[in-house]
Amino acid sequence: MNKGKYLQKWIGCFLIIGLLSSATHKEYINHADPYTIYLTFDDGPLHGSENIATAITKENIKVNVFVVGQHIQNSPQLKGYFNEYLVNPMIEVGNHSFSHAHNKYQLYYSNANSVYVDFLKCYNEYKLPTKLCRLPGRNMWRTATIKHNDMPSGSAAADLLYQNGFKIIGWDLEWEHDAPTSSPVQTGDDMVYLIETHLKNGTTRVKNHLVLLSHDEMFSKGWEQSELDQLVDKLKATGNFKFEFLSTLPGL
Ligand SMILES: [Zn+2]
């Protein structure tokens, strides 16, 4: 092969590779259904609330919190965190009951009406801006399109709340924490892998949407905030994730 033909052949190869890689890239960017993630924080206001607010302000993303009335009542400092939640445009506030069942779930859910009254107390007393709810200790869902129970206990209470206009949102994946220290079990990196796996495998309640549960107290020591930053930065870097409020979940 002479030098000219040799060069022509290589230029042709580069053009084909270039076209193929740009086609793949284009397909990735124009993914018809980008993933939507809903970061949710339960049990606040507690001593992680400030760090959560700092992280999401820095990252400029939307998140949901599910608050416990008893915690708001507990101290002026916690009430202050709650008031900051209410005025922060990047935080949507939902109801996680007044009492958090006093952590006696079986007993709490044995009386559906008293569960309803407990949620109503939190909603009315703190003038919550949404009727989004999460049940303490239960991964249950009641929306226009989803009805899911993780166990029988709590089902009647979930039905009663839904019949009275509340929407109940559970979760697809939990960022777990170690009970004695409250520290996150998985790193931010671990969570990115788990989130992508669930979405790719279609194991979420709403296809291409994932609700992530985490807890306020996981972020109380400060260092964990960098894990949260890492999670958000890595998801953003994929170019394929939107962070949204639960009030926009399809089929609500
Ligand atoms: Zn809780």
The predicted-structure confidence for 163-195, as pLDDT tens digits, reads as follows: 999 999 999 999 999 988 999 999 999 999 999
Q: In terms of Cα–Cα distance, which of 119, 58, 121, 53 is closest to 87?
A: 53
Q: How far apart are CA 97 and CA 77, in angstroms?
A: 20
pLDDT score of 223: 85
Asked if 138 and 105 touch (Cβ cutoff 8 Å), the reply is yes
CA 14 / ligand 1 centre spacing (Å): 56
CA 97 / ligand 1 centre spacing (Å): 9
CA 187 / ligand 1 centre spacing (Å): 21
Question: Which positions of the chain have pLDDT values less than 70?
Answer: 1-32
Sheet strands (E) in 150-248:
167-168, 173-174, 209-215, 241-243
CA 238 / ligand 1 centre spacing (Å): 31
Helix, strand, or coil (residue 113)? helix
- Residue located via tokens 């809903």: 38
CA 233 / ligand 1 centre spacing (Å): 26
The whole-model pTM stands at 0.87
CA 42 / ligand 1 centre spacing (Å): 5
Asked if 122 and 97 touch (Cβ cutoff 8 Å), the reply is yes
CA 213 / ligand 1 centre spacing (Å): 10
CA 214 / ligand 1 centre spacing (Å): 9
Q: How far apart are CA 35 and CA 37, in angstroms?
A: 7
Q: How far apart are CA 132 and CA 158, in angstroms?
A: 12
Q: How far apart are CA 145 and CA 252, in angstroms?
A: 7
- Residue located via tokens 């599910």: 66
CA 5 / ligand 1 centre spacing (Å): 70
Sheet strands (E) in the chain:
35-44, 63-67, 91-95, 132-133, 141-142, 147-148, 167-168, 173-174, 209-215, 241-243
Q: Which residues neighbour ligand 1 (ion) by CB within 5 Å?
A: 42-43, 136
Measured CA to CA in angstroms, residue 34 lies from 22, 109, 115, 240, 250 at distances of 19, 38, 37, 5, 13
CA 100 / ligand 1 centre spacing (Å): 6
CA 145 / ligand 1 centre spacing (Å): 24
Q: In terms of Cα–Cα distance, which of 122, 212, 107, 205 is closest to 161?
A: 122
The residues near 174 (Cβ < 8 Å, ≥ 6 apart) are 212, 213, 214
